[in-house]
Chain A
Amino acid sequence: MSGPLAGVKVLDFAWALVGSVTTKILADAGADVVKVETSTRPCLTRIDVQVKASSPKSFDDKPWYAHLNTSKRSLRLDMKHPEHRRVLDPLIDWADLVVENFSPGTMDKLGLGYAALKARRPDIVMVSGSVYGQTGPMSRMWGIDGTGAALSGRLLLTGWPDRPPVTPGAVPYGDVVLPYLMAGAAAAALEQCRRTGEGCWIDASMYEACVQQMAPALTAAQQGRPLTRCGNRDASVLHQGVYPCAGDDRWIAITTFDGADWNSLTALIGGDWPSPDAVAAMDAAALDALDERLGAWTRDYADAELAARLQAAGIAAGAVNDIEQTIGDPQLTARGALADIDHAVLGRFGHQRTPMTLSRTPLVTRRAPSLGEHSAEISQTIAGLSPDEIAARQVDGMYT
């Protein structure tokens, strides 16, 4: 395998998004990721039926799983089977890194907590992802993506001043942001271990990562200027908004960072407009009126054409793309955001790559595994079980 983590071995106990995306990053980066899975508590993305091509009867026909588990191997293993440690212990000896996203305390109950792993392997690196973190009075509470949004203040500050807050991203946030911190910390810890032989344990909390994103709101509150919901406005730019365009539910986003941008925009529109200083001094009602006037101009134009015209004039603008437009977006295509890969059950379709380009050791996206696709191979080559024993365990249910 190629990629920046070529040669790195990862034992992956993830069953939810946070862990699965973390190990997707590592696997796309060339690490050999063995995902330990079970049919009694399968990865969430193996069971949720979202499209017609998927059925509740199969674990292998979910495109959600396919996108988020690229480049991994799958070991199907019943963690309650009396002999399961015959396979798991050699994997612990094999691995450089263990990744998990159970509720804190669960790995300890399985005999796989950091203390137990460290006793066996002093140089092991472990990365744990959870909502609240591994310690503290709330650590045993569980939650989902929206929990992190509510805890961190993201939820309360997303939306319009005159209405209740809205779901901050119908697409997940904490669930997909935290994995980059986890994967990054893992790689840094692996590098330290390579130099010093010392392992470590990384405790990653979705709540805390989301609070980091909201840190400016905390500072503002402590300065006596608490932030409130403000629609599409942003105090750090001169002016911006989202405006209607021709067609049904079509919109354009326009940001004028400073007075020069504002002058370019108003020159392009034509007519008399307030000066940048006047815009900077406007209260909310005056800004609403200004936005109304801008919207009266944008509504006659097609979203993408107007955005291109504004960009040609040096103004930051973009169509508020829906998913069809986004998948067809020429820039995302140029970056290879979706990699066409053959899937064992679903056929060929564009899989999301890990969104980064490394110039010398690029990441590579390979297809996700079927449940237990590599159980026998891993049992034989890593755990050293004989073909006869593997056959016997297949009969007695260890690989379920």
Chain B
Amino acid sequence: MSAPQLLAGLGVLDLSDRLGAPVADMLENFGATRTRVDGAPTAEQLAAADFLVESFPPATAAELGLTPERTVAANARLIHVSVTPFGPEAPYRDWRGGELVASALSGALRTVGYEDRAPVKEALDACIFHAGCAAFSGAMLAHYERGVSGLGQHVDVSVHEVAFSRNTNNILTWQFDRRKLERSGYKLRYGIAAVRCIWELSDGYCFHTLMSGRLGAPANAALSAWMDEVGARNPLRGVDWMAYNRSTLPAETRADWEDAIDAFFRTRSKAEVRERNAALGLNATVAQDADDILADPHLRARGFWRELALEDGTPVQAPAYFVSEGSAA
């Protein structure tokens, strides 16, 4: 598989830092030619560009003469993409922030972590990457529109607002019931229920939840059958899974089930969970590390990797695309 080369022949001026890097990566991966520029681009560069990506604080953009008003006046077809912590509006326009601070103010950070400790950030740049995806989307919407009108425009994305957009369930429970969904360790909260979803294995961890209804029934029955097969204590035996509802299961029943599942998973290995999941459809997924991912036959079969040389010349495997182009054959 490979990235769809839908932007071949187009040029991107990349003036961005860490906040704008993901969207510039995406435009390049879709076939655009990326030119990195430190500071302000030349008038020729600006006039020739199809996209400009930056993440300057608004005051710096003004100093450099790179406000969207100026750039789009210099090149009427230019799509100017800004990815900033908070956007150009008051009151936070001059506030500083990165992954952690934007996540904190968005409400997302508060939903991650154990109840007895501080909220904890998601791995690496989760919110910045999400904002990069949103900026890519906005740039492509503007790209389509430019094809119709011949005109470019400014696409403004704030990491803070994009991170906030993940809070849908939390927003609506506050809007309608004045309830707050707070962090709950390795559980997932569904309405009033907190359901465990991360389990220790003999050599790692896996993700698994008992899902309600038609979606979960076969997977839940498969887990129960596996527990029986190895002679584990199994309170799941004989449960009518079509009638099971994760939101209304009595707490003491859930506690007993989770004790048994916990004891069972502790005796299983990553390799066993992977093999049984593929064979039985358990909806249990190994929490993979980098080596697992790099060795995954599924990703290899899809051609997900390309070889890159690091600055010191070391060859590494890196993802080849963000989305791929399918084939009718």
Contacts and interface: CB of A to CB of B under 8 A. Distances in A.
The 8 closest A-B pairs by CB, nearest first: A221-B290, A180-B133, A157-B123, A201-B326, A326-B107, A253-B104, A4-B145, A150-B207
Contact of B185 (A114, A142, A167): A167
Contacts of B92: 330-331
B129 to A, nearest CB: 4
Contact of B153 (A152, A158, A234, A359): A359
A176 B131 CA distance: 11
A157 B207 contact: no
Q: Considering residues B151, B169, B183, B185, which has the most beta carbons from chain A within 10 angstroms of its beta carbon?
A: B169
A348 B285 CA distance: 40
Contacts of A63: 172, 175-176
Interface in B118-169: 118-126, 129-130, 133-145, 147-148, 151, 153-158, 160-162, 164-169
B4 interface: yes
B161 A181 contact: no
Interface in A4-21: 4-5, 7-8
Contacts of A115: 328-329
Interface string B91-117: 110011111111111111111111001
Given A215-B318, A226-B289, A185 B153 contact: no
A237 interface: yes
B317 A184 contact: no
10 contacts: A5-B141, A51-B176, A134-B326, A165-B205, A168-B123, A184-B139, A202-B4, A227-B290, A311-B96, A324-B180
A253 B198 contact: no
Given A146-B207, A153-B293, A185-B6, A218 B197 contact: no
Interface of B: 1, 4, 6-7, 18, 26, 30, 68, 72, 85-87, 89-92, 95-114, 117-126, 129-130, 133-145, 147-148, 151, 153-158, 160-162, 164-177, 180-191, 197-198, 200, 204-207, 209, 211, 247, 277-278, 281, 283, 285-294, 297-299, 301-302, 304, 310, 314, 316-319, 321-329
A215 B319 contact: yes
Contacts of A267: none
Interface residues on A, range: 35 or more
| Chain B residues touching A, majority SS | mixed
Contacts of A202: 4, 323-326
A200 B326 CA distance: 8
Interface string A205-228: 101110111111111111100110
A184 B133 contact: yes
Contacts of A165: 186, 198, 205, 287
A150 B160 CA distance: 25
A183 interface: yes
Contact of A158 (B120, B154, B329): B120
B149 to A, nearest CB: 8
B197 A251 contact: no
Contacts of B170: 171, 323
B188 A253 contact: no
A332 B87 CA distance: 10
B197 A203 contact: no
B142 A4 contact: yes
A188 B8 CA distance: 11
Nearest to A330: B91
B164 A318 contact: no
B323 A356 contact: no
A136 B298 contact: yes
A317 interface: yes
Given A153-B289, A166-B112, A332 B185 contact: no
A315 B317 CA distance: 37
A229 B298 CA distance: 26
A158 B7 CA distance: 35
A211 B89 CA distance: 33
Nearest to A183: B137
Nearest to A213: B129
B278 A138 contact: yes
A63 B170 CA distance: 11
A141 interface: yes
Given A50-B173, A134-B326, A237 B185 contact: no
B294 A191 contact: no
Contact of A147 (B110, B182, B207): B207
Interface in A245-302: 249, 251-255, 257
